[in-house]
Amino acid sequence: MGPVNERLDFDALAAANRRDTWFLMFGFFCLLAIVSVTVSTVLQAGVIGVVFALLFSGGSSIMGYTQSDKLAIKSTGAVPASQEEFGQLHNIVEALSIAAGIPKPRVYIVHDESPNAFATGKNPENAAVAATTGLLAKMNRDELEGVMAHELAHIRNLDIRVMTVAVATAGTIAIIVDVFWRMLYFGGGGRGRGRGNDDNNPMAIIGLVVIAILAPIAAAMLKAAVSRRREALADATAVAITRYPAGLRMALEKLDADRTVVRRTSHATSHLWIETPDDHQNGKRGKKFNDMFDTHPPLATRINTLRAMEGLPPYEG
Q: Is the whole model's pTM more than 0.85, yes or no? A: no
pLDDT at 206: 67
- Residues with Cβ < 8 Å from 144, sequence gap 6 or more? 88, 89, 92, 131, 135, 136, 251
Indicate which residues carry an active-site annotation.
151
Q: Give the separation between CA 301 and CA 215, rounded to whole angstroms.
A: 29
pLDDT tens figures, 32-76: 777 777 777 766 666 776 677 667 766 766 676 666 678 788 888
Most confident of 59-63, 150-154, 212-216, 305-309: 150-154
- pLDDT of 186 > 80? The answer is no
pLDDT tens figures, 91-145: 999 999 999 999 999 999 999 999 999 998 878 888 999 999 999 999 999 999 9
Q: Give the separation between CA 115 and CA 131, rounded to whole angstroms.
A: 8
| CA distances to 11, 104, 152, 228, 237 from 240, in Å | 8, 18, 12, 19, 5
Predicted confidence band of residue 190 (pLDDT cuts 50, 70, 90) = very low
Element (H, E) at 129: strand 126-132
Average pLDDT of the chain is: 78
Residue 295 Cα to chain centre, angstroms: 6
Q: Give the separation between CA 236 and CA 40, rounded to whole angstroms.
A: 43
- pLDDT of 230 > 60? The answer is yes
